[in-house]
Every structure is written in C-alpha cells, then in structure tokens.
Structure 1
Amino acid sequence: MDKVDHDGRNPISWACGHGHESALRVLLKYGAKGFDDGDVDGWTPLAWAIQRDGPGIIEALIAHGVNDLEKGARTVLSWAVEYGYSSVVRVLLRESAKPESAVDRILLEQVMGRYDLVSELQLHLNGNLDVAV
C-alpha cells in the first residue's frame, strides 16, 4: 500500500489525482503513508487534488494532517484561483490558506469575469470572514 511507481506516485497520490475521495478515505483510514509526499515533478497529493477540483479530497487530506498550504513557489490557493475552482478556494481559505498568497491572481480573475473568486479573496483579505462559506 506504500509503494511508489516510476513517477514517484503512491496510491494516495493516484486517488487524489483521479478524484477518488472514497478510495482516499479508505487508504487514510488504514494507514497508507505518503499523504504529503511529492512525486518526481514535486506534485503532492494536495496539488493533485487541487488540479482535480476535489474539495472533499482536500478536506480529507487536511483532516489527516496536511497543513503546509503555503509550500512551493506558488501556493495551492494561487493554483486553485487560477484554475477557477471556487469550491476549492473556499475550502482552502476556511482551512487557513493565506489569501495574500493569491493576490497576484486577482487582476487576471477580474479580466476573466470570475468575480466570485475575486469577492471570496477580497472578503478574506479584508478580514470580513463572517460570510457563510
């Protein structure tokens, strides 16, 4: 259950990358290792979950101990904003991702007409967190 393939990906990485939340939860429940390990390209299971638009997967990983949301040259929040995944952005912000880490994406999202993402980031940047998530 803890083996990696030639790309350095383990079962948890594959479950996250394919959006298999129930499989991930089973793997975590039975003690699979590598829930925060990067593959040969540096992609962690969390990065794969972001790319896959998997808010439930992200919640499961964070509940299991993934807590470095600010790791890397670009944060997972910045990627989620760029991908346009508003449900993922909300989960990350609720789980303490720093909204400042995605400020560079605001102008692009405005141009793209993604005012939902811009509003979500601005609410958190302004400390106006009493809005329902």
Structure 2
Amino acid sequence: MPSTRIETRAGWIGDRHAELVAAVQRALVEGIRIPERDRDIRIIEYPAHAFAPPDSKGERYTIVEISLFTGRSVDAKRRLYAALVSELSGFGIAASDLKVILHDVPRENWGLGGKSAVDMELGFKVEV
C-alpha cells in the first residue's frame, strides 16, 4: 500500500502522464511485490524556476518518493530501484537523473479509513 510521489520539471512528460504512472506501478509490483490493483501515485510538475536540481543533472531529473510499510528487505528495495530505472528509461530518464527516496513507515503510523493499518488485513505480504 505504498504512497508514491513523482516530482520533476514541467514540460517533458507531455501527454504521457498515464503511461508514467503505469510504469512506476509496474516497478512497484516487480520490486516490492504489491498487488497490481494497489495504486496510489501522484505526479507533481514544477516550473523550471521552482525546481532546482544539481548542476550535473539533466532536464528530466526526477525524484520518486515512496512511503511504504516498514518490513521490506534490502533485496526488495534493490529490486525496486532497478525496476524504476528500467521502467523510466523508456521516458528518457537516465539512471543518473533518477533519485528514489523510500520512507519506511510503521503500520501503526498509517491510517486508512479511520483505522490503523496495524489493525487491518492487507491482503498481501509486506516482508518480501
């Protein structure tokens, strides 16, 4: 049940927002083994003056921040990083222009429908 935010400079995605969301979702499914139907992805595009990446980065520099339940293994996280690089290369994002930040959130700190996630049956395994 990760919550994913994609941040980048405006203009280069064009009309491919749905494709970008689908690519990130495929990476999440492959990397951390979430169910395909489990999707929560947002794209935020900034005007050039409001998005200041390091000088060494290209025009498509992208930050992907994912909040997810604590419990994924280092190997699962490595799979996710590799899957994101693979999927996003189709959009012209070089591996060196992709930053991925994972926020491990204990289930008791995640509320869904007025309930703590620690009290819910998720329908998938977190410890992968």
Specify the TM-score bucket, using the shorter chain as the normaliser: under 0.3
What TM-score, normalized by structure 1, do the two folds share?
A: 0.26
Structure number with higher relative contact order (C-alpha < 8 Å, ≥ 6 residues apart): 2
By percentage of residues, which structure has more strand? 2
By percentage of residues, which structure has more helix? 1
